[in-house]
Structure 1
Amino acid sequence: MALGRHRIGPEARRRHAEDSEAGARLPELVAAAAEAERRLREAHEQGADVAELHRRGTDLDAALTDAMRAAYARQRALIGPRGYDDRIYRRRRMARADVREATAAAERLLTLRERHRLHGIARVPREPAA
């Protein structure tokens, strides 16, 4: 092995390919989350019952979760396959502008999801036991 050359293992290549595919789906997943949020707002405006609000709230939670996971996959894909095995390389790549932007987008989606989980999903009253 020559100096300065690092081998990338097959597992790192596989994970990088998976993350690249998932990261490529980010725009469509963000659009799906926006559509789910629009449907939830419409349900609020129309005065839907608690069960319907809960269902639409959980739909939005699932859409935000998928978008957030794709955003973090995009971040890992931008770092590159070597970042899976080499933590120093990963930290150095995290300082690049494109990776910082991807990280910020992923953290925004994470914050939106957590805020929605805390305050946006309507609670359905439990049925009494028979």
Structure 2
Amino acid sequence: MRLAKQDRTKARTHLARDRELAERLPLFLRSVAEAERALDEARDRGAPVEEVHDRGVELDEALTEAMRAAYAQERVLVGVKGYGDRIQRRKRLARPEVKQATQVAERLLTARETHRLHGIPGVPRPVG
């Protein structure tokens, strides 16, 4: 199935945007590591719950950005045809390099969801 010219242009625009985001994946992964260290340090030194909460939120934001960049990397590897043709997308998702990118993205997604469920301590509300 061939995409209409307008759809091809739109797909190329999305691909360019995804390519820019995917290029920043290593930076986002470093941010995740730094945020994890900051959260661990805050917990280890017995920081106030508000600070631990703030570090937890920072880690959540870093994981979210890294996950988005990893999924963008997957779409870049699938290519421009994957934006409009689901059959081409499925075929290309079966390639080993795309599978590897998908695994990275899914690990980040799982880490983020686990962190959201168990890693961000609640802050008590002030009474009164």
- Is the pair's TM-score, using the shorter chain for normalization, greater than 0.5? yes
Q: Which amino acid aligns with 2:49?
A: V
Q: Which amino acid aligns with 2:124?
A: P
Aligned to 1:27: 26
Task: Write the distance in 2 (CA, Å) between the matches of 1:70 and 1:102.
Answer: 10
Aligned to 2:68: 69
Task: Write the distance in 2 (CA, Å) between the matches of 1:39 and 1:87.
Answer: 41
TM-score (norm 1): 0.93
TM-score (norm 2): 0.94
Aligned to 1:93: 92
For residue 9 of structure 1, give the secondary structure of its aligned residue in structure 2: helix
Give % identity.
Answer: 55
Which 5+ residue runs of structure 2 have no aligned equivalent?
A: none
- Where do residues 26-45 of structure 1 align in structure 2 (5 Å cutoff)? 26-45=25-44
For residue 78 of structure 1, give the secondary structure of its aligned residue in structure 2: helix
For residue 99 of structure 1, give the secondary structure of its aligned residue in structure 2: helix
Residue 128 of structure 1, CA deviation: 2.5
Residue 5 of structure 1, CA deviation: 6.9
Task: Write the distance in 2 (CA, Å) between the matches of 1:112 and 1:86.
Answer: 30
Task: Write the distance in 2 (CA, Å) between the matches of 1:104 and 1:34.
Answer: 18
- Where do residues 1-130 of structure 1 align in structure 2 (5 Å cutoff)? 9-129=8-128
Runs of 4+ in 1 over 4 A off after TM superposition: 4-8
Q: Which amino acid aligns with 1:80?
A: G
- Radius of gyration: which is bigger? 1
